[in-house]
Structure 1
Amino acid sequence: MNFQTLFGLAIVSQVSAVPVGGVQLVHHQQFLKQGAFSVLQNVFLRRLPPRLMYNSCPSQFLGTRESAFVLAVTSAGISHAVTKACSSGMHDSCGCDRTIYDHERQPNFEWSGCSDNIHFGAAFSRKFLDAREKGRVRRNPKLGLTNLHNNHVGRQAVVNRMDIKCKCHGVSGSCEMRTCWRALPDFRSVGTQLRELFQGATFVDYINNRLVPKSALYRISTLPIGGAYPRAHADSGSMSAVNSLPMPTENELIYSTRSPSYCDNDPRYGSIGTSGRRCSEDSKGPDNCASLCCGRQFRREVYLREEKCHCKFHWCCEVRCQICRKTVVIATCN
């Protein structure tokens, strides 16, 4: 099986299922702006390979917090899927991770079974997704480096959550000896972590050939009068201060462009707005009418719906139900 076939299997088994594994699975409607959901939905539900899927994003969407999440989930999904394919014997040039057997054996413990080869999966994801961004770095270094970083964060979210599973051996389950192997995490936990990183994403700028948090730039006491960011013409003291700033870590998503509100219809951002969206008057979540309608009014429609109720089993063999009428209220954003 060649790389093209493996890639196809990975896309079919995981990447095209990212709405289940990475977005719907972590209930992104509960943690992303409801307006932003439509943008992510357009990206994910087309079920395209990441390269084409990424091309389908409006250019203004690139570099935003939502874009950072898209990139990280895609990178994590490919890493997870390819690793799983290797362990399942679907590709003849990769298999179980044998490097772990080189580790020193512990008392009453030995490595055995098929450890998931996350190193191969992560390398595959990096080779596929980072190729385009490396070319982008030359044209737009701020965006290119931001995207490369978020790709890496997605892969590391899988790597860092690799688990160790063990099986006991001994008389009557005494566990005198254990055989253990490294196993992929449930993708739900990866998605949950990326959700948290999305919520705490860091806004960055490109200064002196490096990405630095904008919040840290404001704290530099040597900034020129007026608070302008130090550029190439700034004095050596300013440049030294910039170079001393911490760079983003592999445990934080970053973005270089502020997201629009997504409240209004704006084709430039691929946003259809929230007009006409159903909302909940009683919900305390993001689908609350006050939040989803962006402060606009909403209209209420009340109607009666017939549905089966009080169903009982009668011998033999029939289920009989009554018909009940239920009042249903639907709220829609203006």
Structure 2
Amino acid sequence: MIVLADAPSRRRTPVRATGLGAAVLLGLAATVAGTLVPVVGAPVFAVVAGVLLSPLTRRRSAAMAPGLNLAKGPVLQLSVVFLGAQLSLGQVLSVGAGSLPVMLGTLAVCLLLAWSVGRRLGVPRDLRTLIGVGTGICGASAIAATTPAIRAKSNDVAYAISTIFLFNVAAVLVFPPLGHALGLSAHEFGLFAGTAVNDTSSVVAAAGVYGPDAAGYAVVVKLVRTLMIIPVVLVLTTLTRRGADLPETSKARLAASLVPWFLVAFLAVAALNTAGLIPATAQAALHQAALLFIAVALAGVGLSTDVAALRRTGARPLLLGLILWAAVSATSLGLQFLLAR
């Protein structure tokens, strides 16, 4: 009896290790590549490499799926928790009252256009949601937090990450000369970059050209934008679960389950950092762990991607990404101009 009971568990462990091990190896390689080319970043390397290798993994989908699901689930959620170590709740106040209207305005415009324009373009709901939160909040981190909330498919996540990356690179190239042409101060450009560029590495790359003052302020704005993940994910989780066909016993527990555990843990870690209970060395370690876990998770997403379905999606989501990027950029500059009058 003991042998019969242990045999399935012995079989499950190697099966899970197969997919998870592949995602970890690819995530480690992507992390190294992201360090060498920070403008691209580990998440993009991970998801693109995973997509390129996905035809090989689909041949062994039964063996790979359990481990890849671990990468796309718990590993992805833990990456969001670790991001909290970079946030001090006091930073929300330090950015000044003037920056919050710009952040909230760009987010509102982006999400509204993602819903309305994406619908008109025929972009699937989950994909337009991911592109919207990725553009409006903080790129790969927002997509990572939103994916479990709406139970997005790997194909949609891969496309959204790739779309966000393209316009991040465009921002790094276009924004500094645009800022000089408009005569923006270091503070104004920092707010512009912090609200209109997504991933931190791209924010630093764009604002760093303007000088250390612009870069420092842009990073603070970018970190505060990360807090917008919380209300957005809560709303999306509520809508997703209410729309599900749940039995009555599950509906009775819906209110208690609307807050994802990883968001609670994210806030707890941020609160610990605010209280000064996370040393600087631990902050750095948790930040690196978050980047690695995101890379591993997105490698799992890439390896799970159906390339044929990705091709069938076409260029409409890319057009949506372009519209949202242009709208967020224009809104950031426009609100700054109006508030300065």
Larger RCO, structures 1/2 (Cα 8 Å, 6+ apart): 2
TM-score by length of 1: 0.24
TM-score (norm 2): 0.24
Larger strand percent: 1
Which is greater in Rg? 1
Structure number with the higher helix fraction is 2
